[in-house]
Structure 1
Amino acid sequence: MAGTSCDGIDAACVRIVGEGEAMKVRLVHHRHQPFARSLQRRLLAVMAPSATRTEEIAHLHVELGEAFGLAARRLIGELGRRERPSVIGLSGQTVCHYPRVRRGRTVTLQLGSPAHVAAIAGLPVIADFRQSDVAVGGQGAPLVPWTDWVLFRHPKISRAVQNIGGIGNVTWIPAGCGARQVIAFDTGPGNMVIDGLVVRISGGRRCMDRDGRMASRGRVLDSVLVRWMSLPFFRQRPPRTTGREVFGEPFVARAWRILRAASRAPEDWVATATALTARSIALAYGMFLPGFVQDRGCRESVSECSSSFPVRRRSTEIGPRSSTQIILAGGGSRNCALRRWLERLLPQASVRTVDEFGIPAEAKEAVSFAVLAAARLDGTSSNVPRVTGASVAVPLGAVYG
């Protein structure tokens, strides 16, 4: 799979025992294959909200299919004879995602030809997961809540699985709940704005704020953060999804101008973008997740969003920290500044990472689509209608090869 960060391909080999909701999942091996710079530039150009030639989209569809196929073949080669996968789950690269823009219809497009993946890797491929949900009235995202429930449900501990890739999304799994009782939605930007600013600051030499070092040295520009937190998306009720159409390059370009006018220190710019991610996550929890108390600071003021982030303690309405966990996944889970700010903004829960559960943060999304592929083979419905807005639960994906 390839995420909204558009940095490369994540491939994972997963051993699954059992069927449907009873399946047990174990990660065997994973690898990350960075995109060639030229391919990455072309993908980002296609994602920009402007006219793109259909010929270029067609070429990218095939080229990405070949890249996914080669990544799968390399992974299989690294496994040797000890493991032989039976099927490949392919997420593809989302290049546009417009939820319910015309007559309530969602438009979403993932590139990466499944037929080419099947031919190169020599295995059947299950793909078009999002289209299956869109076809029955859903937004085609988020699709991992069912797999999050399979992987992280607990009889006594409530868990919020917070992915922080290019975009942030959460799956809320109450203690002892069933798969159809989870709550999930996009929280807002994850690393997308942070990464975009770092690329501009470094002249393209760096693509991320490694470990949150720049953010840790900066101060949050309150006036800018207040402006950003007033965006309509942050008050939109679930089902809700977002992507580069809201927080991509046009947003980063505007942010670049605003931040440079407000401060001369690049560290302040990155700190403010990091605070946007942290605050939007905390705001979403307070508004839409049962039991998370939204304090005055999240609703009305962000003056507390400084580099030291002194945040008032809130009542632990959802119980002791040991009974409620936030599990961070995605590249943003490595951002120490972001994690520290989330711990202070959401003191009712203990913050952990998926690595502590045996799944490296970089592999979690690839593991999720492997689980969706297994569910498709079982004939198990794996979308959650209350999450995506679909009219009915259906098995996701189509088989190629």
Structure 2
Amino acid sequence: MSERIVIGLMSGTSLDGVDAACCRIRGDGNTGRDYDVSVESFVTCSYDSALRNRIETACTDEGTVAEVCSLNVALGTVFADAAAAAAAAANLDLEDVDAIGSHGQTVRHEPNPKSMPVGDDRLRSTLQIGDGSLIAERTGVTTIADFRTADIAVGGHGAPLVPFADLVLFADDESFRVAQNIGGIANCTALPPGSNPENVTAFDTGPGNMVIDGVVEQLTNGDQTYDRDGEIARIGTVSDAILSDALDEDYFRAEPPKSTGREQFGRTYAREFIATCRERDLPDEDIVATATALTARSIAEAYHRFLPQTPDEVVVSGGGAFNPTLVGMLDAELNAPVKTIDEYGIGADAKEAVAFALLAAAALDGVPNNVPSATGATRPVVMGKRCPPS
């Protein structure tokens, strides 16, 4: 059985910074479920406010090609530095690392652009920046990057990608588990007993922390960028009327496979959400509580609509796992025990970085690492472009 040291790199829609997980991965590469992973270290390299603002602007229609081009290089150096920090935290040199798997930073994701002709999937598109070749040169380590495009090339949405890792980490022969990640966007992977890539259901349920963060940032004029420990939401009262109207959004009723992002639930959405709440004279804490309830209830309603049965267990990861008010709301909405991923030996904020380490290991083995039942792809493919150092 082979063993590799692989560093996974992830920067999500919350734009907090680069998460880096140094993983020891064992497996022969026959199937995804044959892999075994242990996390040697995990670090987060936060973006400073100037870089975060540049990325956020690049994700909007105000972004320019010149700025995206510049950020592609700038973020490549940030990702390389994060990989070096993860290796050091594991008491390893970069020479000890076999590969790096980098998701990059999504600046645009258009799984269903309005211009797409009916029945023609060829115009789906996505763009992640943080150049893989630059990461490889800065670290001296073969880097696997740009995962999503291979799935889009065979008719998929290019998302979600984490279900491959969920199969490795959580599949069980007896229990029906749901792995629920709550990052900027919330996404779930439904794992029936004896899961395999053909019977997994996975999709973005809607906003995770993105609307909550956007609302808090705008209400505090940038003094706070998120609701620490859910303290603001905890003292607020949810407006059922506004929550009901928000859940009438077409996205929530759309059948999987589906994915979403900052284009739908970003800064503009948060601004409009606040305006709607102000029309009903809601105080700030009620606005934050209602935004938090939107995440919890949209997840619960997605389960009721699209999953074949009530889960035996829900495993929460991502930044939302650190918000006890949000986790409590989700627990109240579901008729299933809600646990955090920490109980499985992986930090709640490390999972997506671990996922890209696993995706990179599979790519090196030539093992298909998309899950067509989740992305809508016509067939399994090996995702990720290999960038060797010179």
- Output the TM-score relative to the length of structure 2: 0.92
- Report the counterpart of residue 224 of structure 1 in structure 2: 242
1:132 equivalent in alignment to 2:154: no
Query: Which one of the candidate residues 6, 14, 17 is aligned to 1:8?
Result: 17
- Report the counterpart of residue 384 of structure 2 in structure 1: 397
- Report the counterpart of residue 5 of structure 2 in structure 1: none
Query: Which one of the candidate residues 89, 95, 100 is aligned to 1:88?
Result: 100
Q: Give the secondary-structure state (helix, strand or coil) at the position aligned to 1:356.
A: helix
Q: How many Å apart are 1:55 and its aligned residue?
A: 1.0
> In 2, distance between residues paired with 1:226 and 1:115?
47
Q: How many Å apart are 1:52 and its aligned residue?
A: 2.7
- Report the counterpart of residue 54 of structure 1 in structure 2: 65
Q: Which runs of 5+ in 1 are unaligned?
A: 293-317, 319-323
> In 2, distance between residues paired with 1:363 and 1:177?
23
Aligned Cα RMSD in Å? Answer: 1.3
Q: How many Å apart are 1:146 and its aligned residue?
A: 1.4
1:345-360 alignment, distance < 5 Å: 345-347=333-335, 349-360=336-347
C-alpha distance after superposition, 1:219-253 (max 9, x if no partner): 01122111101100010000100001110111011
Report the residue type matching 1:370 in the other structure: A
Q: Give the secondary-structure state (helix, strand or coil) at the position aligned to 1:90.
A: strand
- Report the counterpart of residue 351 of structure 2 in structure 1: 364
1:60-209 alignment, distance < 5 Å: 60-81=71-92, 84-101=96-113, 102-103=116-117, 104=121, 105-209=123-227
- Report the counterpart of residue 38 of structure 2 in structure 1: 26
C-alpha distance after superposition, 1:82-109 (max 9, x if no partner): 8922000000000111113223321110
> In 1, distance between residues paired with 2:289 and 2:58?
29
Q: How many Å apart are 1:367 and its aligned residue?
A: 0.1
Q: How many Å apart are 1:156 and its aligned residue?
A: 1.2
Task: Check the 8 A contact 2:197/2:373 in 1, yes or no.
Answer: no
- Report the counterpart of residue 329 of structure 2 in structure 1: 341
> In 2, distance between residues paired with 1:351 and 1:53?
42
Task: Check the 8 A contact 1:138/1:388 in 2, yes or no.
Answer: yes
Q: Give the secondary-structure state (helix, strand or coil) at the position aligned to 2:112.
A: strand
> In 2, distance between residues paired with 1:271 and 1:227?
15
- Percent of matched pairs sharing the same residue: 44
Task: Check the 8 A contact 2:41/2:87 in 1, yes or no.
Answer: no
Q: Give the secondary-structure state (helix, strand or coil) at the position aligned to 1:180.
A: coil
- Report the counterpart of residue 268 of structure 1 in structure 2: 286
> In 2, distance between residues paired with 1:89 and 1:189?
25
Q: How many Å apart are 1:206 and its aligned residue?
A: 1.1
Report the residue type matching 2:299 in the other structure: I
> In 2, distance between residues paired with 1:252 and 1:186?
18
- Report the counterpart of residue 316 of structure 2 in structure 1: 328
C-alpha distance after superposition, 1:149-184 (max 9, x if no partner): 111111111110000000000000011222321100
Do the aligned partners of residues 241 and 81 (structure 1) sit closer, same or farther apart at CA in structure 2, a change above 3 Å counting?
closer
Query: Which one of the candidate residues 385, 394, 399 is aligned to 2:372?
Result: 385
Report the residue type matching 1:183 in the other structure: T
- Report the counterpart of residue 242 of structure 1 in structure 2: 260
> In 2, distance between residues paired with 1:100 and 1:199?
29
C-alpha distance after superposition, 1:20-62 (max 9, x if no partner): 33111111101001002111001000112x2432111110000
- Report the counterpart of residue 277 of structure 1 in structure 2: 295
Segment drifting more, 72-81 vs 132-141: 72-81
Q: How many Å apart are 1:81 and its aligned residue?
A: 4.0
Q: Give the secondary-structure state (helix, strand or coil) at the position aligned to 1:359.
A: coil
Q: Give the secondary-structure state (helix, strand or coil) at the position aligned to 1:179.
A: coil
Task: Check the 8 A contact 1:73/1:120 in 2, yes or no.
Answer: no
Report the residue type matching 2:76 in the other structure: G
- Report the counterpart of residue 303 of structure 1 in structure 2: none
> In 2, distance between residues paired with 1:86 and 1:71?
16
Q: Give the secondary-structure state (helix, strand or coil) at the position aligned to 1:396.
A: coil
Q: How many Å apart are 1:261 and its aligned residue?
A: 2.1
Q: How many Å apart are 1:379 and its aligned residue?
A: 0.6
Q: How many Å apart are 1:19 and its aligned residue?
A: 2.7
Report the residue type matching 1:400 in the other structure: C
> In 1, distance between residues paired with 2:308 and 2:201?
10
Report the residue type matching 2:216 in the other structure: V
> In 2, distance between residues paired with 1:386 and 1:219?
39
Do the aligned partners of residues 57 and 205 (structure 1) sit closer, same or farther apart at CA in structure 2, a change above 3 Å counting?
same
Report the residue type matching 1:87 in the other structure: A
Q: How many Å apart are 1:264 and its aligned residue?
A: 4.1
Q: How many Å apart are 1:205 and its aligned residue?
A: 1.5
> In 2, distance between residues paired with 1:150 and 1:183?
15
- Output the TM-score relative to the length of structure 1: 0.90
Q: How many Å apart are 1:77 and its aligned residue?
A: 2.5
